[in-house]
């Protein structure tokens, strides 16, 4: 039997409650437990989170607080032990691995600290790779606008090694945007960049939410980076401990400092 996205249309009801079709991402009562050394670790405990469309959300918290686990579950890379995760109204937490892969390819973009571009492909082919993997046609008008948006129109035929770190990260952002995803997950996207280049990349992510109504969820340790987001959730011991609305970097640094003492 072939799988198609048509079969994975948005649902209105999930085992954990109603799915909100207007949310880009919705977690309801998500728990993730890992077995570890004969015992178990609760990496996420009863996490509920709704990320509206066109929001830029930062996720912070000290090491081990559950940020990566949250990102992996929210992006459909992993399934929760209990609770539900919906992306663009489709409950991914109850799909098979193959179905989740299809949803991810069509609806989720990823940006990583290390860019993860394929070194042997041109920038153009890197950007269109997710579309080709998904067997989707390349919408050239959309692609042109995305490439222009990230400022790489003159670099499409170059190889990744011929670009600066900031340019490579902008190519990775274009790749994440190419399929018109419900949400882009960015994991420490500026961790490898100098301050000015990091500022350019954060300004671009910020701009995507306003000009393209793109939802972005960014995990970061850096209060300066998180300050570019609309809101910041602070994780502690696998829970969302605080939600800060439009905090500035100084407020975030002070709040984060409290978790390290």
Ligand X SMILES: Nc1ncnc2c1ncn2[C@@H]1O[C@H](COP(=O)(O)OP(=O)(O)OP(=O)(O)O)[C@@H](O)[C@H]1O
| 235 alpha-carbon distance from chain centroid | 16
Nearer to ligand X, 41 or 129 (CB): 41
Nearer to ligand X, 12 or 35 (CB): 35
- Name the minimum Å distance from CB 63 to ligand X: 3
Within residues 19-48, the interface with ligand X by CB under 6 A covers 34, 36, 41, 43
Stretch that binds ligand X, among 67-75, 82-90, 103-111, 163-171 (CB under 6 A): 67-75
Select from 14, 66, 150, 184 the one that contacts ligand X (CB under 6 A): 66
d(CA 58, CA 52): 13
Say whether residue 65 binds ligand X (CB under 6 A).
Answer: yes
Closest CA to 126 of 152, 107, 87, 104: 152
Q: Are strands 183-187 and 108-112 parallel, antiparallel or unpaired?
A: parallel
Stretch that binds ligand X, among 56-64, 79-87, 153-161, 193-201 (CB under 6 A): 56-64
Q: What angle do CA 134, 136, 142 make, to 5 degrees?
A: 120
- Name the minimum Å distance from CB 179 to ligand X: 26
Say whether residue 89 binds ligand X (CB under 6 A).
Answer: no
Say whether residue 232 binds ligand X (CB under 6 A).
Answer: no
- Name the minimum Å distance from CB 134 to ligand X: 28
Size of the site for ligand X (CB under 6 A): 12
Distances (CA, A) of 54 to 23, 134, 140: 10, 24, 23
Say whether residue 64 binds ligand X (CB under 6 A).
Answer: yes
Q: What angle do CA 44, 234, 20 make, to 5 degrees?
A: 65
- Describe the strand order of the beta sheet including 39-52 as a list of residue ranges: 39-52, 23-36, 82-87, 90-91
**Residues 45/31, Cβ–Cβ less than 8 Å:** yes
| 193 conformational bin, left if phi > 0, alpha if psi -120 to 50, beta if neither | beta
Residue with tokens 């990320």, as numbered in its chain = 51
- Name the minimum Å distance from CB 5 to ligand X: 29
Say whether residue 196 binds ligand X (CB under 6 A).
Answer: no
Nearer to ligand X, 24 or 74 (CB): 74
Nearer to ligand X, 55 or 67 (CB): 67
Q: What is the binding site for ligand X (CB under 6 A)?
A: 34, 36, 41, 43, 61, 63-69
């Amino acid at each position: 039997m072939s799988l198609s996205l048509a079969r994975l249309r948005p649902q209105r009801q999930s085992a954990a409650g109603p799915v909100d079709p207007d949310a880009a991402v919705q977690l309801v009562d998500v728990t993730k437990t890992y077995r570890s050394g004969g015992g178990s670790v609760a990496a996420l405990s009863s996490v509920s989170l709704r990320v509206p469309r066109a929001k830029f959300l930062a996720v912070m918290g000290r090491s081990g607080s559950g940020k990566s686990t949250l990102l992996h579950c929210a992006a459909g890379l992993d399934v929760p032990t209990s609770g539900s995760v919906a992306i663009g109204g489709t409950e991914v937490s109850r799909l098979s691995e193959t179905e989740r892969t299809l949803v991810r390819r069509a609806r989720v973009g990823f940006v990583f600290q290390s860019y993860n571009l394929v070194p042997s492909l041109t920038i153009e082919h890197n950007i269109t790779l997710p579309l080709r993997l998904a067997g989707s046609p390349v919408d050239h008008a959309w692609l042109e606008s995305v490439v222009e948006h990230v400022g790489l129109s003159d670099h499409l035929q170059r190889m990744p090694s011929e670009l600066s770190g900031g340019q490579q990260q902008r190519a990775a952002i274009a790749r994440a945007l190419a399929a018109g995803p419900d949400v882009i997950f960015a994991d420490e996207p500026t961790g490898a960049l100098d301050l000015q280049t990091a500022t350019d990349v954060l300004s671009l992510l910020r701009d995507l939410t306003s000009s393209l109504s793109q939802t972005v969820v960014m995990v970061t340790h850096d209060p300066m980076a998180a300050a570019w987001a609309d809101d910041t959730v602070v994780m502690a011991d696998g829970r969302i401990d605080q939600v800060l609305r439009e905090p500035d970097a100084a407020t975030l640094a002070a709040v984060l400092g409290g978790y390290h003492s």
